[in-house]
A and B are shown apart, each in its own frame.
Chain A
Amino acid sequence: MAGLPRRIIKETQRLMAEPVPGISAVPDEQNARYFHVVVAGPEGSPFEGGVFKLELFLPEEYPMSAPKVRFMTKIYHPNIDKLGRICLDILKDKWSPALQIRTVLLSIQALLSAPNPDDPLANDVAELWKVNEAEAIRNAREWTRTYAMGNI
């Protein structure tokens, strides 16, 4: 792709040279703005042992507007809906051009470790997470086993 901004080139180079532990982000061969992302479920979370596929796209205005990120693997999480859309402030109104792909992916990893049912996207999941956390965590483990293991 012609005219890829220096910023994107530099970020991609750094992601490849010093990858974030537990996360891999590889640009698509055809489109340097589209990344295939794989995030490992953080240790100690109900997603542990799972491997989650995501897609990340850098829009034309990047870095003035936030990257678009979506889970491709089904996940039982109060801030991620069934289409894989993520409720994360830095992807919306708290985006700043000083943030990077790296920081976004780290935030998503942190969100898996610490779900926030008070700011829900998937209402039914959030409800259960608040009312009966043990059962919600069981569900999340179950989904991780069903959808996020051995699929890659």
Chain B
Amino acid sequence: MHCRSRILASKIDPHLTPSAGGHINCVRNHKERFCTKVWTKQEKKSTMSNNDNESDVEYSETEECGYDDYYNPCNDADNETMNQKKCDPEHFEFECLTVDQVDRLLNELVETLSSRLRLTPSLSKLLLHAHNWALDSVIRMYLEDSSQLLVQSKLKPEKPPVVKTLSKTLVCPICIMMLPKDVFCGIGCSHLFCKGCWNTYLETQVMHGVSTATECMGCSVMATEDFVLPLLATPQLKERYVRHAFSDYVRSHPELRFCPGPNCNIIIRAKENKSKRIVCNSCKTTFCFRCGSDYHAPTDCETIRHWLTKCADDSETANYISAHTKVCPKCQICIEKNGGCNHMQCYGCKHDFCWMCLGDWKTHGSEYYRCSRYEENPNVANESSHARAKEALKKYLHYFERWENHAKSLRLEEQTLQRIRERIQCKVMTGTDGTWIDWQCLLDAAALLARCRYTLQYTYPYAYYMDAGPRKELFEYQQAQLEAEIENLSWKVERAETTDRGDLGIQMDVCEKRRTTLLQDFLES
């Protein structure tokens, strides 16, 4: 399988397949670092103005002026905070609760139910657990037909238990021992077993992590904690049962989710079960409330799962093909990118080009940024199945490469931050260019950059699974806009030589607006 994909891939673009070891060595010798050249302010300005000259003047004007009205319709200072909720497509109300708080929350529900319906708390607990803690509907169903509800929830046997014998001894069907009647017990169905067998059975269940789902040994009636706990021999077993049961309750409650952070005991509570961003206030893990995996807006839970599985299946091939290196489109020198934005300048021939499409960088200044867009081959339907397979692989690699590129940039974020910190230190120590406080905005910009890159990374699986059409065009247009703005921001962050906060601030604002606009339009509501 791998071999076949590899051949297909190398037919698509032989340049991407590093075939000779010499090339790889080349990377070490000629490590072209796009950050090698130190740009002075003047140079930077002249480059910028060059780009401006080429670009449409009207375009930049609408950017500066039209933005606030269009993208920020609720900018009224009075109700800004109130409207923020409506404007921010990522806004999601949730609270981080401790185990005790959740315990109290669940117990309140249990108490309400048990006092309303005069049931034991342990039975109420299992009843609520079986019906996802929907208190009102449980009460309604119970009042309609209590017996049917209990049978359905496997808390009561279908037929009333038969009391068999009047003799003083019974034979336990598990250990086949004849024992006095008073050592026998059961869950309320007709199955009676001796306490010794119950002990061993329940211990086995608890050791296997089974708690709320513990059934009778003879049928499927559920055991309540009132029945289980006294039959567990040691405090350790009891504690284990309670812990497992608590996890089960949290999992069955639609408003609750455990923080997936390692060793984090926080439980998140949110009213709506949506795929929105949660940041745990204790361990700072960011995740999706609905599926618990890494936050993935604008892609939905289902799609991202498909994508990640696909990547896991195909990544070896794709990795091999992109193989971390590309050749300079002008002098063919082999280049490894180890950070920074997509504007590359070749160490050897000084050629400026885009890392993504390997096209001349100059073409990226005007119009809009095109290299996040995948051009569908219109003749694909007429071609053979072999060509279609080739096309499918090419399409996948297109999106995968961009996805992986942003992921890589994000992984390098810690290094970037370190570099920024060192630069700030250096600037402040020499004492010419502002104070430590003046430079803090750079760190904010870096954080924003990371946030934008993250969203952008997750736009590629979304685009991959999108059907061609005007909506996809709009999406890819917005994606390209965001790409372009991020590149600008990345450029500015890496090269900030003065505390020109205005310039940086505008760029940050533009980036964040682009990101929110994209999410506003495409994040499922």
How far apart are B494's CB and chain A's nearest CB, in angstroms? 53
Q: Which of A5-13, A109-117, A135-143 contacts B (4 or more CB under 8 A)?
A: A5-13
Q: Is A96 an interface residue (CB 8 A)?
A: yes
A6:B201 contact, CB within 8 angstroms: no
A6:B175 contact, CB within 8 angstroms: yes
Q: Is B176 an interface residue (CB 8 A)?
A: yes
When distances are taken between beta carbons in the complex, the residues of chain A under 8 Å from B173 are: 98
When distances are taken between beta carbons in the complex, the residues of chain A under 8 Å from B191 are: 98
When distances are taken between beta carbons in the complex, the residues of chain A under 8 Å from B200 are: 64
A7:B217 contact, CB within 8 angstroms: no
B217:A97 contact, CB within 8 angstroms: yes
B176:A64 contact, CB within 8 angstroms: no
How far apart are A70's CB and chain B's nearest CB, in angstroms? 22
When distances are taken between beta carbons in the complex, the residues of chain B under 8 Å from A61 are: 204
Q: Is A63 an interface residue (CB 8 A)?
A: yes
The binding surface of chain A is classed by DSSP as loop
The binding surface of chain B is classed by DSSP as loop
- What residue of chain A has the Cβ atom nearest to residue B173's Cβ? A98
Q: Is A24 an interface residue (CB 8 A)?
A: no
Contacts known (A97-B217, A98-B217, A98-B218); A64 close to B175, Cβ less than 8 A: no
Count contacts on B: residues with CB < 8 A to the other chain. Answer: 13
Q: Is B12 an interface residue (CB 8 A)?
A: no
A65:B217 contact, CB within 8 angstroms: no
Q: How far is the CA of A7 from the CA of B215 in the complex (A)?
A: 21
Q: How far is the CA of A98 from the CA of B217 in the complex (A)?
A: 6
Within 8 A of A (CB), among B161-193: 173-177, 191
What per-residue 1/0 map shows which CB atoms of A84-122 lie under 8 Å from chain B? 000000000000111000000000000000000000000
A96:B204 contact, CB within 8 angstroms: no
A96:B217 contact, CB within 8 angstroms: yes
Contacts known (A64-B201, A64-B204); A98 close to B174, Cβ less than 8 A: yes
B204:A6 contact, CB within 8 angstroms: no
Q: How far is the CA of A20 from the CA of B189 in the complex (A)?
A: 29
Q: How far is the CA of A64 from the CA of B207 in the complex (A)?
A: 12
A97:B177 contact, CB within 8 angstroms: no
A10:B176 contact, CB within 8 angstroms: yes
Q: How far is the CA of A65 from the CA of B215 in the complex (A)?
A: 15
A7:B204 contact, CB within 8 angstroms: no
How far apart are A145's CB and chain B's nearest CB, in angstroms? 37
When distances are taken between beta carbons in the complex, the residues of chain A under 8 Å from B174 are: 7, 63, 97-98
Q: How far is the CA of A96 from the CA of B202 in the complex (A)?
A: 12
- What residue of chain B has the Cβ atom nearest to residue A14's Cβ? B176
Count contacts on A: residues with CB < 8 A to the other chain. Answer: 11
Within 8 A of A (CB), among B393-421: none
- What residue of chain A has the Cβ atom nearest to residue B176's Cβ? A10
A65:B218 contact, CB within 8 angstroms: no
Q: How far is the CA of A6 from the CA of B172 in the complex (A)?
A: 11
- What residue of chain B has the Cβ atom nearest to residue A11's Cβ? B176
Contacts known (A96-B217, A98-B191, A98-B217); A7 close to B175, Cβ less than 8 A: yes
Q: How far is the CA of A98 from the CA of B174 in the complex (A)?
A: 6
Q: How far is the CA of A6 from the CA of B197 in the complex (A)?
A: 13
What per-residue 1/0 map shows which CB atoms of A1-33 lie under 8 Å from chain B? 000011100100000000000000000000000
Q: Which of A10, A65, A96 has the most CB of B within 10 A?
A: A96
Q: How far is the CA of A36 from the CA of B336 in the complex (A)?
A: 65
Q: Which of B174, B191, B204 has the most CB of A within 10 A?
A: B174
When distances are taken between beta carbons in the complex, the residues of chain A under 8 Å from B177 are: 6
When distances are taken between beta carbons in the complex, the residues of chain A under 8 Å from B204 are: 61, 64-65
B176:A6 contact, CB within 8 angstroms: yes
When distances are taken between beta carbons in the complex, the residues of chain A under 8 Å from B215 are: 96
When distances are taken between beta carbons in the complex, the residues of chain A under 8 Å from B197 are: 97
When distances are taken between beta carbons in the complex, the residues of chain B under 8 Å from A96 are: 215, 217-218
Q: How far is the CA of A139 from the CA of B477 in the complex (A)?
A: 58
When distances are taken between beta carbons in the complex, the residues of chain A under 8 Å from B175 are: 5-7
Within 8 A of A (CB), among B189-248: 191, 197, 200-201, 204, 215, 217-218
When distances are taken between beta carbons in the complex, the residues of chain A under 8 Å from B217 are: 96-98
Q: List 25 A-B contacts (CB under 8 A).
A: A5-B175, A6-B175, A6-B176, A6-B177, A7-B174, A7-B175, A10-B176, A61-B204, A63-B174, A64-B200, A64-B201, A64-B204, A65-B204, A96-B215, A96-B217, A96-B218, A97-B174, A97-B197, A97-B201, A97-B217, A98-B173, A98-B174, A98-B191, A98-B217, A98-B218
Using a CB–CB cutoff of 8 Å, the interface residues on chain A facing chain B are 5-7, 10, 61, 63-65, 96-98
Instruction: Please give 15 more A-B residue pairs, beta carbons under 8 A apart, in addition to A7-B176, A98-B191.
Output: A6-B176, A6-B177, A7-B174, A7-B175, A63-B174, A64-B200, A64-B204, A65-B204, A96-B215, A96-B217, A96-B218, A97-B174, A97-B197, A97-B201, A98-B173
Smallest CB-CB A-B distances: 10 pairs: A98-B218, A10-B176, A64-B204, A98-B217, A7-B176, A97-B174, A97-B217, A6-B176, A7-B175, A96-B217
